[in-house]
Every structure is written in C-alpha cells, then in structure tokens.
Structure 1
Amino acid sequence: MNVTIWNENRHEKKNPKVEEIYPTGIHGAIADFLQEEGFNTQTATLDEAEHGLTEEVLDNTDVLVWWGHLAHEEVTEDVAEKVKQRVLDGMGLVVLHSAHFSKVFKKLMGTGCDLKWREADEKERLWVVDPSHPITEGLGQYIELEKEEMYGEHFDIPAPDQLVFVSWFEGGEVFRSGATFTRGRGKIFYFRPGHETYPTYHNKEIQQVIKNGVKWAKNTNTSKHKYGNAKPLEEIKNK
C-alpha cells in the first residue's frame, strides 16, 4: 500500500518546542510508524512545488494522510480540487486534528467544519463507541491522553456514516473525535488528537488507530461506473 503523509510543516520551523517533539516533522513521525507497519510511505509538505502533491504522486497514492493548521489558505484551489477528485475516484483520506479546517476536508464535507477549542493542558479520554469497527482493532475501551487541546461540540460536519470515537475532556466538553465518511468511491476517516505541542503521535495507541485508519481507508478495487448517456443492455422492443 502506498501512503503519502502531507503536512504544512510550519509549526516545526516556528516553534522550538514542536521541533523538539518532532525533529523530523509531524509528517516524519507519522511516516516512521506507518513504515514500521509495512506501508510504502512518502511525505509531502506545503512549500514544495504543487505542495508535493503532483499528479504523479496522487495517482500513486492509495491513502493520503493530511495534517494542517497555520496555513490552510495557502493551499491552492487547484491542488485542493485535485485531492478532492482523487478521493471521489477512490483514494483514501485520513484527516488529522486541525485539518478539519483544511480546504480538502471542507470541500468534501460541504459544511463549515467549525468547532469549539481550548488549550489548557487537560486530560482527554477517547471512548470507543463502535467496538465492531476495524479502526478500533487492538484497542481497549478507551484511550487516555494526559494533556491535549480541547475540541468541543458542536462540530459542524455532516452526520458521519459511522461514529467510532467520542472524546471527553477534563473541562467538561465532549467531541466526535473519530468519524468515517464515504464520498464517491473514496473513504475518509477524521481523527481528532494531535495538537503540535504535545507528543500525541508518539503514543502507541494513537499510532494504532492511525495504522488501522489507513488500512480501512484503502479502496479494495471497488467497481467503476460510467456516467452519462448509456446504450441499452437489452434490445428495446418498441410497441
């Protein structure tokens, strides 16, 4: 499976704390544990030509993992539309943390994708609410993170096809933290944790969820359909 990890790679350059936690970038950390799982990984970042997402890269990507925060508006409309179309054509998409506000996710959801948030070093408990879902394979009843950024409802997204995780935060809020969607032939998994100043992507349970999400999002050679004017399959006998 070919997996591309996209990250705007701005926090790592601006904030020494983020650089200390993720010396090879958030994209590098995610690529490392996905590669350990046996995936063929590559990375792409905002400041590369075409943001690293050329036609060739996208055509050879089974699942795209997306992390962004500071520079959503710097992603060109052309690239965002190309990614959207690839998802509709069958590429899987795993959307992490603040990428809920990315152009790609908002285009695919058709809503504002806004939410409440707070940075207060508070505990997060992610409850598994669909233990039958393959994304929860290898997990217990919940994942507990000592410190994370709070995201709270209402989360302005369409009703998910399947809700996999619901978070509770120490300050009292709850949030739909793991949700799946289908668009065209593509499968999408949104997963909330991953604020840049916390070592969330070094957590083994979080890594397990992302590994499972990538496996789930891969298209399994589903049928392709032709649209538009169609010739009849059988002879039409006009009376």
Structure 2
Amino acid sequence: MTIRALVWGENIHERVNTVVAGLYPDGMHTTIASALNADGGISASTATLQEAEHGLTEARLAETDVLLWWGHRDHGAVADEIVERVARRVYEGMGLIVLHSGHFSKIFKRLMGTPCALKWREAGERERIWTVNPGHPIASGIPEHFVIDNEEMYGEHFSVPEPLETVFISWFEGGEVFRSGMTWRRGAGNIFYFRPGHETYPTYHHPMVMKVITNGVKWAHNPMPALTSVHDAPNVPVEKALEPIVQKGPTLHEAGEEGFK
C-alpha cells in the first residue's frame, strides 16, 4: 500500500528571504516532498498557506494518510476552521508529523493542550542528535548519533505532555539538550514531532534528517479505515441495552435524543 503524504508549508520565508530562497528555491515543502517521493512506498504532494483553504480541503484531507506540517512566521494566519478540520482527521487516524518551529502551530498546540514553549538561540551551532530508542521504527537505519553542522538551538524545558515515546535527544554546541523526537497518539492518529529544520540552514538536504522523516511517515501511517465514529456520542435507549434493565430515575433527554456537547 502506497502511503499518501501531504507536506504542508507556510511558504513565506522562501519568498521573502534571499538566504532561504537560495537553499530552497522551490520551497522547503517541495524539498521535503521530493525526498519522500524517493521512497517507493510513499507518494508525497504539497500544500501551502496561500492556497484556498490553505490547501487543506475536506476532500484533500480525506485522501491524506500522513500530514507533515512546517510553519514559523505566521502561525496565526491559519484559520481556526482548518485547524479543527485537521484535528478531526487526526482523531480519525490520519498521521501527523510536526517539524521544527511547527511546535508553535495552532494544530500542534490544539492536539497537545499545552503551551509547547521552549528555549531557542539562532547561532548556527553544531547539533548532535542521539538515538535513545534504537529499537523504534522511526530509528530504523539511524546510527547511534549524527551531527548537523549548523542549526538553531532548541532547549528544555519543552512544555509538551509526557510523550508516548522519546526517540531522539539533541545536544547543542552551547550546552543545551532537547527532546528532539517524540511521539503521541490522539484518538486513532499517530503524532511525531521532529526538531531539526531551521529555514536558514540546509537541514532538509541532510540525508539522516530525511531518513528520520521518511521513517516517521511510515510509522505515523494507520492503514485502518478512518474511525469516523470517534466523534460520536450516541444515546443508547433502555430498550436497546445489551442486558435487560428497567428505567429507575428521571432523565434530561428523550430516548435516542442527541446529548449536550
């Protein structure tokens, strides 16, 4: 089964910053999608903030197995309606991979329920990423550690919920450490956050970074049909109980009536 991945990019810095444009002339989203398409098991396309409905229409999301998200400069421009639409699809089983500064995106904060804040420093320092869960599928083919020569520092404390799994931890030249690869599950959807990816550095041209992201897409993919019933809260009338019971008290609702949400 080919995994249908959709790479969402804010697509602002590539159009206004000459350094970023030089590194990613067709946009970071295109670079990421191209690397994913090198894997025969993944078919990746792109969407951007500037498109109608940010490229995330109901139909497009219904055809997406795993959504990858990169944003930074204008998280607030993402419409709340679209955020809720993406969240619903994650609950139904669509995978979500949040990259780098996407930690402050509306969708990540919506699903984490926390501020998702951290320390940072933009100094182009060396980052050593340690694989602390080598048996995890996302770490398949990844060495004990690898180095990114120039990156933005992210440091603890990272105010996210306790993860399901921690796969990678980063150490930076300035001394800070960061939980740079973590997973969660929300409803039927798998979520992976991966830290590297500052736009002024060629991080998405790094083979190990793209190997991790490719692995992440495969891990996040849920092959089961969309669990649309995850949103339901049905009223089960007394006469439809699995075992015979008798009504013993007053009710707020009529039998079968939709409840309050």
TM-score per shorter chain, which class? over 0.9
Q: Deviations over 1:206-228 (max 9, x none)?
A: 11000000000011317945642
Could you tell me which residue of structure 1 aligns to residue 175 of structure 2? 172
> Is 1:236 the counterpart of 2:247 in the alignment?
no
Amino acid at match of 2:244: I
CA RMSD of aligned residues (A): 1.4
* DSSP 3-state at the match of 1:3: strand
Amino acid at match of 1:232: A
* DSSP 3-state at the match of 1:100: helix
Query: 1:232 deviation in Å?
Result: 3.3
* DSSP 3-state at the match of 2:61: helix
Between 1:214-223 and 1:26-35, the stretch displaced more is 214-223
Q: Deviations over 1:27-78 (max 9, x none)?
A: 0000101111121211100011000100110010000000000010000000
Amino acid at match of 1:199: P
Could you tell me which residue of structure 2 aligns to residue 121 of structure 1? 124
The CA distance in 1 between the partners of 2:86 and 2:77, in whole Å, is: 15
Identical pairs, percent: 56
Count of residues in correspondence between the two structures: 237
Could you tell me which residue of structure 1 aligns to residue 190 of structure 2? 187
Q: Which runs of 5+ in 1 are unaligned?
A: none
> Is 1:203 the counterpart of 2:200 in the alignment?
no
Could you tell me which residue of structure 2 aligns to residue 83 of structure 1? 86
List, as ranges, runs of 4+ consecutive aligned residues in structure 1 with deviation greater than 6 Å.
none
Query: 1:237 deviation in Å?
Result: 6.8
Could you tell me which residue of structure 2 aligns to residue 32 of structure 1? 34
* DSSP 3-state at the match of 2:128: strand
The CA distance in 2 between the partners of 1:31 and 1:90, in whole Å, is: 21
Would you say the 8 A contact 1:90–1:185 is kept in 2?
A: yes
Q: Which runs of 5+ in 2 are unaligned?
A: 247-261
Query: 1:185 deviation in Å?
Result: 0.5
The CA distance in 2 between the partners of 1:178 and 1:73, in whole Å, is: 25
Answer with 1 or 2: which has the greater Rg.
Answer: 2
* DSSP 3-state at the match of 1:112: coil
* DSSP 3-state at the match of 1:80: helix
Q: Deviations over 1:111-166 (max 9, x none)?
A: 00010000111110110111110000001101211110000000010000000001
Would you say the 8 A contact 2:97–2:191 is kept in 1?
A: yes
TM-score normalised by the chain length of structure 1: 0.96
